[in-house]
Amino acid sequence: MATAPKKIAVKKPASNVASETTVLADVKGYARKIYLAGLGAYAKAGKEGAGYLLDLVKAGEGVEKQGKKLVNQQVEAANSQIDSVKVSVKDRVEGVKGKVEVQFEKVEQAFDRRVASGLNRLGIPSKQDVDALSAKLDVLNAMLERAAKAK
């Protein structure tokens, strides 16, 4: 028995071409579906987009009103706190100012007494001494004028 030579199977090119044609047709079909889906989304967005945009604008206006109201409330609260602090500080400043003025007057009086005392020790008359002497001179001048008229 002789062995028969083995046959090698060779693929036929016609079957490859058929499968490539099927794959290409599938790709074209999917591409067309994707294209149509994009057109549909565009058309739907055009119809519904305007209404959706108006809804977003209305929602934004509502949020804006709430934000303005909140900001105004906070500004008013801050202003009232500032006003109360202003009044408190003003009262404290006036109180301190009064105390400082009293103390300053006390220091000024003490300084005047010390200066007058030092001047008296040196033999320099004080303002009160000069005023008293001036009053006495006025009385003497008046007496001299009466005496001169009486002669």
Is 146 within the bounds of a domain?
yes
Does the pLDDT at position 11 exceed 80? no
The 8 Å CB, 24+ separation contacts for 117-123 are none
Give the total number of structural domains in the chain. 1
Least-confidence region, from 49-53, 69-73, 85-89: 49-53
Domain holding 43, by residue range, is 14-150
Does the pLDDT at position 139 exceed 90? yes
Is 32 within the bounds of a domain?
yes
Is 55 within the bounds of a domain?
yes
Task: Please report the pLDDT score of residue 38 as a whole number.
Answer: 83
Q: Which helix (H) or strand (E) holds 77?
A: helix 13-121
Instruction: Give tens-digit pLDDT for 57-86.
Output: 888 899 899 999 999 999 999 999 999 999
Is 81 within the bounds of a domain?
yes
**8 Å CB contact between 133 and 127:** no
Is 6 within the bounds of a domain?
no
- The pTM is what? 0.38
Is 2 within the bounds of a domain?
no
* Separation of alpha carbons 72 and 90, rounded Å: 26
> In degrees, to the nearest 5, what angle opens at C-alpha 90 toward C-alphas 79 and 74?
10
Q: What is the DSSP letter of 122?
A: T
Is 3 within the bounds of a domain?
no
Mean pLDDT in residue range 90-115: 89
Q: What is the dihedral of CA 140, 141, 147, 149, to 10 degrees?
A: -160
Is 63 within the bounds of a domain?
yes
Tokens of 94: 């006036």
Mean pLDDT in residue range 9-35: 74
